[in-house]
């Protein structure tokens, strides 16, 4: 099973897509947590890595997760026109 299949690439229903979106969010949060807690060089040399981790966490919390939550709410409506638009 490749990464796409693990993250919903083979989803065949709205419910499966919603579950896959939840998995994506969980995986991203775990990645951010790992990134934040990675050992970094002390002092000024470690600041860029810390800033990157903090910015990524903010981006996840303020943009990515809310966008995925809106998508999940839309999918729960089971509107075929929306599904077709999302599928591209």
Quick: pLDDT tens for 1-17: 444 445 556 777 888 88
Q: Which two tokens stand for residue 21?
A: 């979106």
Give the global pTM.
0.69
pLDDT in tens, 36-70: 777 677 778 778 888 888 899 999 999 999 999 98
Contact 28, 64 (CB under 8 A): yes
Q: Which two tokens stand for residue 81?
A: 């026109």
Given a contact cutoff of 8 angstroms between Cβ atoms, the answer to whether 65 and 86 are in contact is no
């Amino acid at each position: 099973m490749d990464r796409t299949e693990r993250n919903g690439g083979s989803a065949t229903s709205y419910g499966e897509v919603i579950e896959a979106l939840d998995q994506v969010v969980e995986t991203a949060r775990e990645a951010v947590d790992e990134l934040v807690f990675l050992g970094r060089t002390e002092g000024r040399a470690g600041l860029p890595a810390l800033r990157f981790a903090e910015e990524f966490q903010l981006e996840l919390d303020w943009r990515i997760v809310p966008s995925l939550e809106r998508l999940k709410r839309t999918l729960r409506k089971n509107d075929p026109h929306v599904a077709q638009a999302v599928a591209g």
